[in-house]
Amino acid sequence: MVNTGKKTIFSGVKPSGDLHLGNYLGALSQWVELQDQYDCIFCVVDYHAITVKQDPADLNRRTLEIVKHYLASGINPERSIIFQQSDVTEHTELAWILNCVARMSDLNKMTQFKDKAGENQENVSVGLFDYPALMASDILLYQTDAVPVGDDQVQHVELTRTLARRFNQQFSEVFKIPEVVIRKEGARIMALDDPAKKMSKSGQGAAGYIALADTPEEAEKKIMRAVTDSGDSVIYDKEQKPALANLLTIYSLLDHTPIKDLEASYRGKGYAEFKHDLAGVVKKFLAGYHLKFNCFRDEDVKEILKQGMAKAQPLARETIAKAKRAIGININR
Ligand code: TYM
């Protein structure tokens, strides 16, 4: 991992709620492709999950499950580092330093906080508000070049860039300024029951999302019940036919068929046939995915996390030492 000359990728998933097709298409499947060109670090960001209430046993179980999702998607632990955020304490340490660089006005701009806190802003945890500083710390600790995420995380990566630049100017050049990487199609998979909302693992009825743990039959029902737009021609038009555009995107990414080719093959056919075929594609994908997912045992996953921690820690330590020196802490040791 060290000195390969390749650029570094960092990304992560929170172990809260069920992982869904949006996470897979917007993030995980993208990461798999990037493993060839980059040194990759994929984290299970458990400290992010506790910004909202979690059942301790569920959190522990989900952390292991997220690793199984990484593996089932095709992340290779021999090539990429997979680790648990709380195992590398430098994440919370750097987050504190970045808290002292971030301004209230930076965090007040974060739309995800506004969406999540809603009317309840006075009662949510301080952690939920401050979460982007921890995310910046995750990224900056590894001198990351690129951060592959879904569209909903772009604002957080932009804040990361702002904090890195501000720190570098105020103290000295410690952090690399990371770029965001998002998919051209699939960066924002929408809910099946409402194409105006993004597919989400929390705050949505199960009809809106296909969980990666759904049985193929459950997923089929959800696709057949997914809302469609007026008219009956299968055309990709995000403005006029947002529901269909979303279904075409899912079909195209899972079946590795360009949207143009799908439009051509469904010319003159209606929504019912299209949805029936899409349900088949999703069922086939999930059946294969579950076969892989079920191969991994908890013991294997724990071992992968242990090895990942051992590889991530020295990288994080190097950066935190530089950051501390820059701000005048630990200079004489
Ligand atoms: P999280 O756990 O909510 O989501 C994990 C990844 O899935 C993407 N995603 C989607 N992509 C397309 N369509 C959707 N409907 C959809 N829903 C979710 C997310 O954009 C994300 O890439 N804050 C992050 C986790 C994090 C992180 C980091 C990411 C913490 N530290 C450092 C990158 C780098 C989050 O909550 O993602």
CB 171 within 8 A of CB 326: yes
The closest-lying atom of ligand 1 relative to the alpha carbon of residue 199 is 15
Domain covering 206-292: architecture: Orthogonal Bundle (1.10)
Of 217, 203, 278, 200, give the one whose Cα is nearest residue 244: 278
Task: Report the C-alpha gap between 126 and 171 in whole angstroms.
Answer: 27
User: Quick one: tokens of 282?
Assistant: 């999703």
Tens digits of per-residue pLDDT, 275-305?
A: 999 999 999 999 999 999 999 999 999 999 9
Task: Report the C-alpha gap between 318 and 225 in whole angstroms.
Answer: 52
pTM for the full model? 0.96
pLDDT score for 202? 67
Specify the domain boundaries for CATH 3.40.50.620 within the chain.
8-187+297-327
CB-ligand 1 contact for 136 (6 Å cutoff):
no
CB-ligand 1 contact for 73 (6 Å cutoff):
no
pLDDT score for 183? 94
Name which residue sits closest to atom 18 of ligand 1, judged by CA.
Answer: 23
pLDDT score for 204? 62
DSSP alpha helix (H) spans, the chain: 21-23, 29-34, 46-49, 56-73, 90-99, 104-108, 111-117, 126-140, 154-170, 216-225, 242-255, 259-265, 271-293, 298-327
CB-ligand 1 contact for 132 (6 Å cutoff):
no
Low-confidence ranges of the chain (pLDDT < 50): none
- Contact partners, residue 114, CB within 8 Å, separation at least 6: 121
What CATH number is given for 8-187+297-327 in this structure?
3.40.50.620
pLDDT score for 114? 87
The string of DSSP codes covering 177-198 is -PEEE--SSSSSPBPSS-TTSB
113, amino acid identity: F
Of 324, 257, 311, 247, give the one whose Cα is nearest residue 77: 311
pLDDT score for 116? 86
If you measure from the C-alpha of residue 272 to the centroid of ligand 1, how many angstroms do you get, rounded to a whole number?
Answer: 32
Specify the domain boundaries for CATH 1.10.240.10 within the chain.
206-292
